[in-house]
Structure 1
C-alpha cells in the first residue's frame, strides 16, 4: 500500500452499498484527506451520537432521497465499539453494510496506548517510517522512542546545552507542533538527566507554548542590557530584580545565528512585542531593532515588507490542512493590522500595490481550498474546536476535566482576527499581566450572523435549525438546552444579549453566585460599527480601538477573572472592506439580501440573478438546509451601489471565514 488510507478507501470502494455502518473508535474517517476521498466517492458522513438527532438527519436526507428515487450514499460513523451498534434502529442495521477500522490494525507492531494519543496529521510520516524500518513488536517505551526519533525528528541525545534546547523550543512552538503528552513526558525524563538543564522548568516550557513566549519576552530586555547597550550596565544576576514571573535561566544565547532567525520572526509576526529601548546602531547588531519600539517610518515600512515576504512564502496550497490555514490566518492578520492601523497611515504605494496583488492571490487560493476541504470540517471532533458549532462541546470538556470550572463565552459579533489584535494590544496596556491563548475557528458559510452565531450557541450545524435560520431569537433557548442536555441545572446557566459592559460589571449575582457556572454573552457593537462604516477598514480599526479603550470593557473581563471564570472570546464571522458592484433587481425573491451574500430558496431564481453578476459565486449548501442557496458577491465586492465603499461580511475570504478563538487568562508565575 502507498498510504495507510488505502486500506480504508479500498474497503469503502468495495462496499457496494449505499449505506455503510462504520465502527471507527479512533476517528480515522475524520482525517482530512480521507474525508475528501469519501466525498469523491459520493458518500456523506452522518455521525451517530444522539438517536433523535441521528434520526432527523437520516430521515431528512437518506430516506427522503431514496423514496424520491434519488441515489444517496451515506456512511454512518459510529465511534463506539462494535457491540454498541445495537443502538442503531433495526431497519438501518438490516440494510447497511458493517465495516470496522482500527488504528492498531494499521500499525500492529506499535503500542496502541501511545498510538491513540498521536495526532492524525502525523499518520503519513509514521506510515512511511514503519514501512522503511519494519520494526518488530515494540512496547510502550520503545514506541515512544521510535515516534520521537523518526516522526518528530527529535534525538534527545543531540540536545546537549542551552543553545540546543532553546533552538528546539523555538522550532517546536513556532511551528505549533502537537506532540502527545505521553511522548513529551518520556522526552522530558531524558532531558532531566542532563545537569545543563537543572535550571530549566522543562515541563512548563515544553508543554505550554504561551508560557514559553512569556519566558522569552521577559528575558528580551535582559538580553538588550547584557549584550547590546553601548554603555554596559551592571548585570543583575537575581531574576527577581528583573521582575521575572517564569522561572529558568536569566540569560539566554539569543545572539546565536540559528536562534536569531526565530527571534526576528517572532517579533515580526507578533508573538513577541518590542520594548522601550534606545535604537541600536552598532555594526552587526541592528537586527535587534525589530524588538525595540521605534516610530521611524523606514523601520515600520521595513517590517511590513518583511511581513509581505513572509506571507508570500507561507501561503498554503489547495491541498493544505486546516491547521496550515489557521497558522496563515494569524500571519495574514498581523500584516493587515500593520497596513490598516491608523498609526501607520504613511505607508507608501510601493508597499500597498504588492499587498493588494497578494490579497487577490490569497482569496483565490483559499476559495480553491474551501471547495475541496470545507465539507470535511463539519464532522471533525471538537477537541480542539475547528468550527463554531464545536465550541460548546469543547467548553464542556473543560468543565468535565475540572468540575469546579466556571466558563464565560464572549462573542463579539463580526470581529475579524486582525481586529482582535487591536483589542489585544489595548487589553495588554490596561493590564500587562493578562495572557492570551490564541487559536482560530472556521465560521459557517455563508458568513452571516443568524447562521454562524446560532451554530455556536446550539452546538449544532445549521442543518438542525432550519426554522430559525434567518433570525437569532432562539439563541438563549439553544444555549440553555445544550447545557441542560449535558446534565446542568437551568440555574447554573446564564445568557446575556447586548448588555452594556457596566451592566455585567454590576451584576454581582453573576460573579458571586455559586450556582452560575456557564455564561454566554453577545455584544454586537462591532457588527453595528461595521454596517455604518464609510471609511473602510482603517475607520473600523479606529472605532474598535476606541471600544477597546473603554475602562468598562476591561473591567468586565477582569471581573470574570477575579471570580475564577475561564474567559473565552470569539466571533461568529469576520469582515472585509468591499466595493459596490451594483444591486440586484430581484424584488422580494431573496430570503436574505445581504451586502456580500444573497440567499435564495430556489436554484432557478439564484441562477437568474447570477446571470447579471457572472463573477459571483454559487455556493453549495454544506451543513445548511438544502433550500438555503447562497450567491456570494465577486472578489471583495458587495451588492450595493457601484463604486461605493463598505465594510461587510457574508463571503468566503480568509478574514470573513477564519475568526479568533481566544482564552484570556492571568499570566502564569
Structure 2
C-alpha cells in the first residue's frame, strides 16, 4: 500500500490534526478533476473556487470527511476558519523530488503510480524524465489483479481502524472488492474481512442509528427516510427525477456505473432497518419514518409521492410516478417524477449465490431501459437522483422455522428469509426460549426478529436475500447524476 500514490497523498493529508486543511498548491495538481474524485474515495473533499465558494463549502462540509480548501493564500481566510484548520503548502515535488515535475503533473494516475514506485536516486532533467515516462508507457500499465485486491483490503483495514470510521469509504471499497472477486470466483477468500467489517458496523448501529434516523437532510440524506427532505430543501424549484432501483447492492451499482456515461456524485446512505421493502421503500416515498401497518403496492407509493410534494406546494398535475415501465419523450411534462425499477430485486430473490446474481445483474444491465431513461431525463433538464431501498447479502442457513415456530409469522408479508414478524409477542418469546443461541445474532424489536450477521431462516446452503441489518444490506448508494454541461 505504501506504493499507491493517491493513497499516500490521502494518508499524508489525514496526518494533520485538523479535518480542515488550507492548502496552497502552485502546480495545480490537486485541482485536477480526476485527482479530486480519487481523493474523495479516501474520504477527502478537495474544494476549489473563490473565497465565497470556499466559505460556502466549509459551512456545508461533511464533518465525517476531511475538507481541503485550495487557495493562492492559505492565510487569506476569516479567523474562524483559520482557528479550526491547518495550513500547508503542497507540491508534487514532495513525492517526485528527483524528477522534472512540469513533465509529470498532467500524467494519468496509473502512470504516476508507476513513477512513484520507481527508485530514482539521482536527479533527472526534463529529457531524462520524459525517457523514463516513455519506458513505463511501453510496459504494461495494468496492475496485477491480486495487487489491486491487496490494496483494497489494506485500505478497508486501515479505514476500519480509524476513529471515527468513514463508512462511505468502507461501502465503496468493499463493493469494489466484492465486484472483482465475484467475477474471479474468489469472494470466499474475503469472508472473514466482510465479517470483521460487519461486526464493526453493528457497533456503529448500536451507537448512532437512532441519531441517523433523526439527522438533518440539508447537506445530504443519511437515511432513506430523509431523501425527499433533501431534494425538497435543495431543489424544490427544479425539475426532479428520483430513480429507485429495488434491491441494488452497492457492488451492483459499481457494475452499473461502468456503463453510465455521465458524471455522478456518490454518497452512501442507510436503508431502513430491518431492510425489508415495505419499510425501507415506504420510507423513501413517505419522506419520513415508515408505518408498520403499511401494505406494499405501487399505487400506495404513488399516493405517498404525490402527497409529499403536494404538502410542499407542488400542484398534483406536476407530479407523477412510474413503476417498471420505460419513459417516453411525451410523458415527461412534470416537475417531480419518480421511477421504480423492480426487475433487479426479482433476479436477486431467484439467485442461489452472488455468482448467480452477478450474471443476472450483467444481463439486466444489458437489457434495462435505465440508461436510456436517464439520458431522456437529462435531455429534458431534470436533476436526476438514483438510489435503492436496500442492498442484499449472500446468506447461509441457520435453519427453517418448523411446526409451531411458523405460526403467526406472515404479518409483514415480507419475502425475506432474514426477517420475521410475529402476530403475538409470546410466539417470538417461545422461539427465543427454545433457541437461546439466537440472542447472539438476531435483533428483536417488538414482535419482529431480523439477523445482523449472514444467517437466514432457511435450509438452503446459500441464498441471496435481504431484510436484516448486515452492512451489505444497509449501506446503499445515493447518486446525483450530473448533466455533463453543468
Give the TM-score taking structure 2 as reference length: 0.74
Alignment equivalent of 2:193, drawn from 358, 374, 391: 358
**Distance apart, 1:537 and its partner CA:** 0.7
Q: Which residue of 1 aligns with 2:406?
A: 587
In our comparison, the structure showing a higher alpha carbon Rg is 1
Please tell me whether residue 307 in structure 1 is matched to residue 120 in structure 2: no
Q: What do you get for the CA RMSD once the two structures are aligned?
A: 3.9
Please tell me whether residue 336 in structure 1 is matched to residue 178 in structure 2: yes
Alignment of 1:99-138 (within 5 A): none
Alignment equivalent of 1:561, drawn from 371, 378, 389: 378
Please tell me whether residue 443 in structure 1 is matched to residue 271 in structure 2: yes
3-state SS of 1:614 partner:
helix
Are residues 581 and 181 of structure 1, via their aligned partners in 2, closer, same or farther at CA, if it must alter by over 3 Å? Answer: same
Cα distance in 1 between the residues matched to 2:234 and 2:198: 35
Cα distance in 2 between the residues matched to 1:255 and 1:446: 43
**Distance apart, 1:251 and its partner CA:** 6.3
Alignment equivalent of 2:288, drawn from 446, 457, 460: 460
3-state SS of 2:385 partner:
strand
- 8 Å CA contact 2:244–2:389 kept in 1: the answer is yes
Q: Which residue of 2 aligns with 1:205?
A: none
Please tell me whether residue 386 in structure 1 is matched to residue 222 in structure 2: yes
Q: Which residue of 1 aligns with 2:84?
A: none
Please tell me whether residue 175 in structure 1 is matched to residue 175 in structure 2: no
Alignment of 1:617-628 (within 5 A): 617-619=441-443, 621=445, 627=446
Cα distance in 2 between the residues matched to 1:363 and 1:450: 24
Alignment equivalent of 2:314, drawn from 477, 488, 491: 488
Q: Which residue of 1 aligns with 2:351?
A: 533
Are residues 420 and 288 of structure 1, via their aligned partners in 2, closer, same or farther at CA, if it must alter by over 3 Å? Answer: farther
3-state SS of 1:408 partner:
strand
- 8 Å CA contact 1:427–1:548 kept in 2: the answer is no
3-state SS of 1:340 partner:
helix
Alignment of 1:221-232 (within 5 A): none
Cα distance in 2 between the residues matched to 1:364 and 1:551: 35
**Mind listing any 5+ residue stretches in structure 1 that lack a counterpart?**
1-147, 195-226, 228-248, 265-279, 429-433, 622-626
Q: Which residue of 2 aligns with 1:609?
A: 431
- 8 Å CA contact 1:451–1:469 kept in 2: the answer is no
Cα distance in 1 between the residues matched to 2:442 and 2:109: 52
Are residues 415 and 644 of structure 1, via their aligned partners in 2, closer, same or farther at CA, if it must alter by over 3 Å? Answer: same
Please tell me whether residue 407 in structure 1 is matched to residue 237 in structure 2: no
Are residues 260 and 193 of structure 1, via their aligned partners in 2, closer, same or farther at CA, if it must alter by over 3 Å? Answer: farther
Q: Which residue of 2 aligns with 1:600?
A: 422
Alignment of 1:224-373 (within 5 A): 252=105, 254=107, 260=113, 285=136, 292=141, 299-315=144-160, 320=164, 324-341=166-183, 344-345=184-185, 347=186, 352-353=188-189, 355-373=190-208
Q: Which residue of 1 aligns with 2:231?
A: 395
- 8 Å CA contact 2:442–2:452 kept in 1: the answer is no
**Distance apart, 1:614 and its partner CA:** 1.9
Q: Which residue of 1 aligns with 2:121?
A: none
Cα distance in 2 between the residues matched to 1:391 and 1:422: 23
Q: Which residue of 2 aligns with 1:275?
A: none
- 8 Å CA contact 2:393–2:473 kept in 1: the answer is yes
- 8 Å CA contact 1:254–1:263 kept in 2: the answer is no
**Distance apart, 1:379 and its partner CA:** 1.0
What number of residue pairs does the alignment pair up? 410
Q: Which residue of 1 aligns with 2:455?
A: 637
- 8 Å CA contact 2:319–2:336 kept in 1: the answer is yes
3-state SS of 1:595 partner:
coil
Are residues 665 and 632 of structure 1, via their aligned partners in 2, closer, same or farther at CA, if it must alter by over 3 Å? Answer: same
Kindly provide the CA deviation profile for residues 195-229 of structure 1, in whole angstroms up to 9, marking residues without a partner as x. xxxxxxxxxxxxxxxxxxxxxxxxxxxxxxxx9xx
Are residues 436 and 302 of structure 1, via their aligned partners in 2, closer, same or farther at CA, if it must alter by over 3 Å? Answer: same
Give the TM-score taking structure 1 as reference length: 0.55
Alignment of 1:63-102 (within 5 A): none
Q: Which has the higher helix share?
A: 1
- 8 Å CA contact 2:22–2:70 kept in 1: the answer is no
Cα distance in 1 between the residues matched to 2:154 and 2:395: 24
Kindly provide the CA deviation profile for residues 471-524 of structure 1, in whole angstroms up to 9, marking residues without a partner as x. 66521111100000100110000012222x3xx23xx3322x2xx100111111
